[in-house]
Structure 1
């Protein structure tokens, strides 16, 4: 009967399996052997199974006993996690931290901050999702994300508190065999219109405002990796974060192009850490914000 099952009984069972005997388990748990035997007998009686074969010199786990030891370990880990999360909540740590990340964000500094977060808050469940362009803001507003690492265009919305973290410089590029690669001068709008522009788009709301569009031949992508594949294959032109195209630029697979009267900020896109104004982050969220701001202070991705 599950209501008669105790964590103490499971702890005794696992300790016997780990130490190899009832007496060794008693020494490890600072209990007399008779107490260990009583805990096992009670567990066997309540569950209606024989956990140990007592026919030999020392009791050995039965087949079902070995299976239940594994189950007991899982239950004990879950119970420890339960206690740890409750203790963290008492100290102001949120029960879960949900992050949403926009496509242009460089992975390396984010990975380092999340690794540090896991070290500082080892019992904190962290949920991580990468989004199409604009998806992180939507997740904040739907309250399915606590923090967003994102681009906010054209301005920071009134319902969001945002902290600038870094800038990511964009470069307009084409494949080396694309007609625009040999234009030899800054491309005017009339030069760009005949060709496909590879655009990062919001998969939920593709009609939302877009920036930097130069024509009607738009191929829309949710992720930067697939857009890069099509860019390298010569299907169109686009602006890409420099940290993603440095290698193909160096290898000559991509060619930079200059766009006349380009409205893209020369200093690059600003990357923000953001949360809803009405939903203040907990202790772990504040820690992550501070770590990101410290780690990325003055850093520009070029």
Structure 2
């Protein structure tokens, strides 16, 4: 059976270029690294390093075994991390309900950090309208919901506002709105507006953001952006989704009369008060609170 300590010494020595550098890296003496590599060579019956020069150089056999050894070490690390997760009662999965009106960018950094810290926990993202997500939360089909509140949240839920979402109006560079300082409500009502179904049907935002007599409905906000870029109409969208496109010039921000003072709306993180929470759920909550 291959000794993992010997294997670690071999891989580290190959990576660092010498036994002394390998020893410093893993906190062991040069002689310990040298003995470990020699013992591995005896166990395998091959010479892994040519030691005739100032620094050890991988032999042809050593080069082949080095690649295999790295794979074995990664597998050993995965097993160690997995068993550590079992001891710490790390969740096997976590389901996050995301309202289509909530930009994915609000959670992508948190998800990246979770993937690194808890690599064996499966994350599932469910995109549905807010009220539908609350029903799934009640039925324990999702663990967290991020949405733009439409009505009072029931007392048996815990919630926190994690971000104030700023909204702005945009059009294509070819639109007549692009060169206007403030676009009047009268002009807005006569020009086609692009709006996604979730926003159009939102009990609060739908009423205050729908102005035009000519409406085209899109599936989600990403579709809205593409349609506005094509010059099909104007739209009200979260500013965080538009910064790159405005910088590139494919979208132009303008000020509508009905939003002269700007507009913002809170994104709430909602979870069940009675639900038990493992380390992944707690970490997600911490990350989202900190980002807000």
TM-score band w.r.t. shorter chain: 0.5 to 0.7
Which residues of 2 match residues 33-52 of structure 1 at below 5 A?
Answer: 33=35, 36-44=37-45, 50=46, 52=48
* 1:152–1:75 CA distance, 2 compared to 1 (3 A): farther
Report what 2:289 is aligned to. Answer: 293
Cα deviations by residue, 1:65-96 (Å, 9 ceiling, x for unpaired): 31321331233234234324533553455466
What is the rounded CA distance, in whole Å, between the counterparts of 2:18 and 2:177 in structure 1?
74
Gaps of 5+ in 1: 45-49, 297-302
CA RMSD in angstroms comes to 5.1
**Greater share of residues in helix:** 2
> 1:150 is paired with a residue of what secondary structure?
strand
1:222 aligns with 2:220: yes
Cα deviations by residue, 1:106-144 (Å, 9 ceiling, x for unpaired): 6887567668x56xx963237778775649949x75988
How many residues are paired up? 267
Q: Report how far residue 236 of structure 1 moved.
A: 1.4
Gaps of 5+ in 2: none
Contact 1:165–1:293 (Cα < 8 Å) also in 2:
yes
What is the rounded CA distance, in whole Å, between the counterparts of 1:88 and 1:217 in structure 2?
51
Contact 2:96–2:126 (Cα < 8 Å) also in 1:
no
TM-score computed with the length of structure 1 as normaliser: 0.59
> 2:117 is paired with a residue of what secondary structure?
coil
Report what 2:194 is aligned to. Answer: 198
* 1:201–1:129 CA distance, 2 compared to 1 (3 A): farther
Q: Report how far residue 169 of structure 1 moved.
A: 3.4
Report what 2:235 is aligned to. Answer: 238
Cα deviations by residue, 1:199-238 (Å, 9 ceiling, x for unpaired): 3357xxx9x95552666742414343x5334324431132
Contact 1:175–1:255 (Cα < 8 Å) also in 2:
no
What is the rounded CA distance, in whole Å, between the counterparts of 2:31 and 2:70 in structure 1?
16
Report what 1:299 is aligned to. Answer: none
Q: Report how far residue 272 of structure 1 moved.
A: 1.6
* 1:274–1:38 CA distance, 2 compared to 1 (3 A): same
TM-score computed with the length of structure 2 as normaliser: 0.61
Q: Report how far residue 271 of structure 1 moved.
A: 0.5
Contact 1:187–1:257 (Cα < 8 Å) also in 2:
no
1:271 aligns with 2:267: yes
Report what 1:257 is aligned to. Answer: 256
Cα deviations by residue, 1:230-259 (Å, 9 ceiling, x for unpaired): 32443113221244457959x893333345
Which residues of 2 match residues 116-131 of structure 1 at below 5 A?
Answer: 123-125=117-119
1:163 aligns with 2:160: yes
Cα deviations by residue, 1:20-49 (Å, 9 ceiling, x for unpaired): 469x9895473783x6534323234xxxxx
